């Protein structure tokens, strides 16, 4: 009987004609999506390497052979103190923001996942209310100003250190961990803090990496908070630097003209955009295996 069941289990499920048609449609659709992503990406890359004496259409520039590429745009960027300072500021915001967000989100999500917590429903309601009703820009600015964070990098990531959406996803993941593991640790004398560090977190690498990626992308691309709370130009992160290039390129404002003189301004724009995307492109493949698992397991129970 055991061998028969094993043979039946190994048999491949026969696909119907409708299944084959559906798979073909999905494959074609995904190919179109891939093309729609690759064309703008390749256009940006080739534009960033376009020489200053290039004459021709954008379509011809996309197929410019690599031996005719020029690195003047990247040389100009790395020679520009503003770009290096903006990149360093964005990296500080990324590291500080992700660390602060995870330190605050993990304990909060764990507390909300404890079934025996007194007033758990009321606390969950209090957490969800700010997600539905935004307090607005002026009260948030006044709060940051009263705390004394204006014109400092923490002002960019502290107001959004805890995302209600991310907290709810992480809470649902913690709820899905078997209750027996937590109860056995409590019987052995572990406190709630020890349960979280010794039992919950070792089993939650997928969701921690996933939520960390969510926070990293948010802080790296954050433009509004930096524009709102930072006054000095030397504190500007990379999104503000890119904005200054895009807006001031036609008027030579907010640019070091001597650093960018040997490359067309469109190549500088493309190189800036490409360089700003590199950190997330590098980080995503290492986190991808946790990404799908973390989001799926975090949404199983509700």
Contacts of 162 (CB under 8 A, 6+ apart): 101, 104, 105, 108
With a cut of 80, say whether residue 64 has pLDDT above it. Answer: no
pLDDT confidence bin for 297, thresholds 50/70/90: low
On the question of pLDDT at 256 being above 50, the answer is no
Q: State residue 291's pLDDT score.
A: 64
Q: For residues 251 and 30, which has the higher predicted lDDT (pLDDT)?
A: 30
Q: First CA to last CA across the chain, in angstroms? A: 39
Percent of the chain with pLDDT over 90: 10
Asked if the model's pLDDT at residue 97 lies above 70, the reply is: yes
Give the residue with greater pLDDT, 294 vs 271.
271
pLDDT 10s digits, 179-197? 888 888 888 888 888 888 8
- Residue 213 structure tokens: 């990626």
Give domain 75-297's CATH superfamily.
Answer: MetI-like (1.10.3720.10)
Q: Give pLDDT, residue 4.
A: 55
Question: Which comes out higher in pLDDT, residue 168 or 50?
Answer: 168
More confident residue, 217 or 259: 217
Task: Give, in order, the Cα–Cα distances in Å from 69 to each of 50, 54, 96, 271.
Answer: 6, 10, 37, 13
């Amino acid at each position: 009987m055991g061998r028969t069941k094993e043979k039946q289990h190994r048999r491949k499920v026969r696909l119907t004609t409708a299944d084959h048609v559906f798979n073909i449609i999905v494959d074609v659709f995904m190919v179109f999506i891939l093309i729609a992503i690759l064309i703008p990406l390749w256009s940006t890359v080739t534009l960033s390497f376009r020489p200053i004496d290039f004459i021709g259409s954008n379509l011809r520039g996309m197929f410019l052979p690599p031996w005719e590429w020029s690195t003047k745009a990247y040389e100009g960027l790395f020679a520009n103190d503003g770009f290096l300072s903006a990149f360093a500021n964005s990296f500080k915001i990324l590291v500080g923001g992700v660390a602060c967000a995870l330190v605050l989100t993990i304990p909060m999500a764990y507390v909300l996942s404890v079934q025996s917590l007194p007033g758990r429903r009321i606390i969950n309601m209090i957490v969800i209310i700010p997600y539905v009703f935004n307090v607005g820009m002026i009260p948030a600015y006044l709060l940051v100003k009263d705390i004394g964070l204006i014109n400092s990098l923490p002002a960019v990531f502290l107001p959004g250190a805890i995302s209600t959406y991310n907290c709810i996803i992480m809470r649902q993941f913690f709820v899905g961990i078997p209750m027996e593991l937590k109860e056995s640790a409590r019987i052995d004398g572990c406190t709630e803090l020890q349960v979280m560090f010794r039992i919950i977190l070792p089993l939650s690498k997928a969701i921690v990496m996933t939520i960390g990626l969510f926070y990293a992308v948010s802080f790296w691309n954050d433009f509004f908070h930096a524009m709102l709370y930072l006054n000095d130009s030397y504190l500007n992160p990379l999104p503000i630097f890119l904005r200054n290039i895009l807006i001031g390129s036609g008027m030579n404002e907010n640019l070091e003209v001597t650093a960018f003189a040997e490359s067309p301004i469109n190549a500088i724009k493309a190189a800036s955009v490409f360089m700003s995307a590199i950190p997330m492109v590098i980080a995503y493949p290492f986190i991808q295996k946790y990404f799908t698992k973390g989001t799926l397991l975090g949404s199983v129970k509700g």
